[in-house]
Amino acid sequence: MPLYAYRCTDCLDFEVSAAMGEAAASLPCPACGIPSPRRFTAPNLSRAASSAYRLIESTKRSAAEPAVVSSPGPAPRTAGGNITTNPLHRKLPRPD
């Protein structure tokens, strides 16, 4: 459920979780009870699913302290590793 922000004139802002479109235009402040109007804020959309955000997060995490790996990565492809296993490729002309 989204969070809706309200601003009390005497206290700090407070947030209330309510169903989408069910937020009241004004709620009593939980501290003093004064009716507080709803404050309109920018939508706090989640960016956690995007690959760009994950890259930024992983870069930030490893900026001060590089990630320690327990083993080297997969072996790089060598020239001999490019041999095809498709039987149709045996019929292709070969260099002399």
Write out the residues near Zn ion by the rule CB under 5 A: 8, 10-11, 29, 31-32
Beta strands in 1-96 (DSSP E): 3-7, 13-17, 26-28, 35-39
> With respect to Zn ion, which residue has the nearer C-beta, 6 or 23?
6
| Minimal distance, residue 25 CB to Zn ion, in Å | 17
| Minimal distance, residue 27 CB to Zn ion, in Å | 10
Cα separation, 10 vs 71, whole angstroms = 58
Cα separation, 15 vs 2, whole angstroms = 10
> With respect to Zn ion, which residue has the nearer C-beta, 26 or 58?
26
Please give the distance of CA 69 from its chain centroid, rounded to a whole number: 23
| Minimal distance, residue 21 CB to Zn ion, in Å | 25
Strand partners, 38: 6
